[in-house]
Structure 1
Amino acid sequence: MQIRKAKEEDIKSIAKVYVDGWKTTYDGLVPNHYLESLTYEEAEQNWLLFLSDTNQPFIYIAVNDKGEKIGFAAGSSTDDDKFGGELYALYLLPESRGLGTGKQLISAVANHFQEKGIYSMMVWVMEQNKSGLGFYEWLGGKEYLRRKSEFGGMTVEDVAFCWEDVSILCQED
């Protein structure tokens, strides 16, 4: 498997992983009509918009041995007083979960932040997303903040996990 920085031509694949990831990860956690309304085209536009943000956004993509794009992680700098970086998104195709891909993508994000002089980061995860919570706890994330978000008319609780030192997330190649 290869982890590399995404290019603009990867946006279609990123949008597919994102929409398919939402539909599997959040099935039963947000209203079905919200999940059914997600489209690849809108996701493409949103990810292109994300990359044009002023907070130094970036995306890393995972490509399997067959050349298929199977996951991605996105990050950016933040205005948070305590944590300089945010893991904005991490999505994997269902068949790619549990194989170490997520950890490799997180490592790429952490390395990217360190290269930019950002040594701490946070990530927001839906509280009902038990696998996500468990994954970030397993990686040593500590609960930092809580907020409410709304999806399709339904309010959900989000938890921010943080790492004061991203170097613990960096893997050697």
Structure 2
Amino acid sequence: MIEAVITIRAAREKDAEGIAAVHDAAWRDAYRGIIPGRELERMITRRGPVWWHSAIVRGSRLLLLEWDDTICGYTSYGRNRVPSMPYGGEIFELYIAPEFQGVGFGKRLFQVAGQDLAAHGYANFLVWALADNERGVRFYEGQGGTMVRQANERFGTETRPRIAFAFDNLPFSR
């Protein structure tokens, strides 16, 4: 019998390279053909191991999902960055490496991040997704998100629509 252990834990300094690898693969998979190519490459390059190491050292809320000691996904979250919207928390990013998508890892990370937000007093939270990222939009709808705002995000000289999904944190605080 073969056993594999799934772990969700806070990121450590030594995880920066693994997080950068997941970020690179997941962003290429999710945004190729959505974010203009040159801009996508710039964004991925900027978020390499040094950037992630700095985020960990700064104390950013950053959780990893490991499967058998392999970093398969991550999520970052904290206080809502749009104070004009009546939501306390925000999940900034949630990405799973392409080869680990579709098996429930994203849902697990989402639930743990929601639980941690609730434990820190956030009664509700937001998640933004690019509207053309159909897989991401379906995921957040499937988690019970309600679309509460649309806006545009600029990538170089082009813009893309994005959607804010709101979540009531009551299911996570139980």
Asked if residue 63 in structure 1 is aligned to residue 58 in structure 2, the reply is no
Query: Counterparts of 1:41 and 1:77 in 2: how far apart (Å)?
Result: 23
Aligned mate of 1:109, from 98, 108, 113: 113
TM-score (norm 1): 0.86
Q: 1:50 to 1:27 in 2, by over 3 A?
A: same
With normalisation by structure 2, the TM-score equals 0.85
1:131 aligns with 2:119: no
State the shift of 1:154 in Å.
1.9
Amino acid of the structure 2 residue aligned with 1:69: I
2:171 counterpart residue number: 168
The residue matched to 2:48 in structure 1 has which SS? helix
Q: Where do 5+ consecutive residues of structure 1 fail to align?
A: none
Mind listing any 5+ residue stretches in structure 2 that lack a counterpart?
A: 1-5
Percent of aligned positions that are identical? 27
Return the letter of the residue paired with 1:21.
Answer: A
Q: Which residue of 1 aligns with 2:151?
A: 147
> How far apart, in 2, do the equivalents of 1:38 and 1:73 lie?
17
Rounded to whole Å, the distance in 1 between the matches of 2:46 and 2:150 is: 31
Written as runs of structure 1 = structure 2, the 5 A alignment for 1:40-79 is 42-48=47-53, 50=55, 57-65=60-68, 67-78=69-80
Match of 1:27 in 2: 32
Shift of 1:46: 3.8
